[in-house]
Structure 1
């Protein structure tokens, strides 16, 4: 009898924790963590403006190279981004430096970095839509397409890759 009760309790515990473990390994989790971090003004993902030493409107006249290194390390330390995504970010700043040397300025980004929109949905709205969206998983890649009622022509698409059993943001685009 005790063995039977133990087996039932063990089965129920496994069943109860399965959704939690599945959710922890969901491609949606890094996107959720990203937008949770974005809600904190002191978060390392909100510190990109410190990478620019001198600006004139949307033009970047001088980069702050030590802060770029710190910013990229902070992004890496979040554990949310793939090595390929981080390499692209580094390349972005290198390209900016080339434009500054060649033309005296580089054009700044005119949209939010993580929603690719000038008038992005609020973070709580992104999180609410994310909660209702099912990722499309094919092997070690996943795509999450977020659609918003208040922005019918706007789609936010996150590409994720599985690295060492963790889902990492590998790309962001919008349509």
Structure 2
């Protein structure tokens, strides 16, 4: 009896199948979708008593910051990091922001303070309820590999569009950037 070797095309298909499963597995293991992660962020944000206030780390003369308490800043960053909501990219950017502010104080004697809410980029932030409503009714999300964007169009109490960039870290979507327009 003649022995038949499997066709080359079968082997090729099998290899492609393995690659597809490995690629798909990355997305299948994520506990939440990017949109669900933004909902978790909004719920955290809605608990204002749990959100650390970075202004506690500044000494200011009016709106100008004249001194930064580095221990307070490190505690602030650590508390943001332990939420699990923010990516390493966001945390590194935050650390760099404080280093830049510290450098500017050394050069000029002062730096600009932050006069808006860091998480809503607003002086008059919307409520958790308004944010969750907009997320559920007027948002879009897109995933491209290990990166995602969620766009939320808020119409009340005022019109603003939030753009959240997320990165997949250890199979968890985490915020890397918050923008508004």
TM category (shorter chain) comes to 0.7 to 0.9
1:42 to 49, 65, 85: 49
Helix, strand or coil: the match of 2:176?
strand
2:36 maps to 1:29: yes
1:143 to 127, 140, 149: 149
* Partner residue in 1 for 2:120: 115
Helix, strand or coil: the match of 1:114?
coil
The CA deviation at 1:126 is: 0.8
Within a 5 Å distance, the mapping from 1:1-175 to structure 2 comes to 24-43=31-50, 45-52=51-58, 54-132=59-137, 133-150=139-156, 151-152=158-159, 154-175=160-181
Distance in 1, Cα, partners of 2:74 & 2:30: 32
The CA deviation at 1:110 is: 2.3
The CA deviation at 1:57 is: 2.4
Q: How many residue pairs align between the two structures? A: 152
The question of whether the paired residues in 1 share the 8 Å contact of 2:163 and 2:179 is answered with yes
Query: TM-score, normalised on structure 2?
Result: 0.76
Return the index of the structure with the highest Cα Rg.
2
* Partner residue in 2 for 1:18: none
Distance in 2, Cα, partners of 1:148 & 1:23: 27
CA RMSD of aligned residues (A): 2.0
The CA deviation at 1:134 is: 3.2
Query: TM-score, normalised on structure 1?
Result: 0.79
Instruction: Encode CA deviations 1:112-155: one digit per residue, 9 max, x unaligned.
Output: 10111222322221111112323111111111111122333x21
Query: Where does structure 1 lack aligned partners over 5 or more consecutive residues?
Result: 1-20
Distance in 2, Cα, partners of 1:149 & 1:35: 16
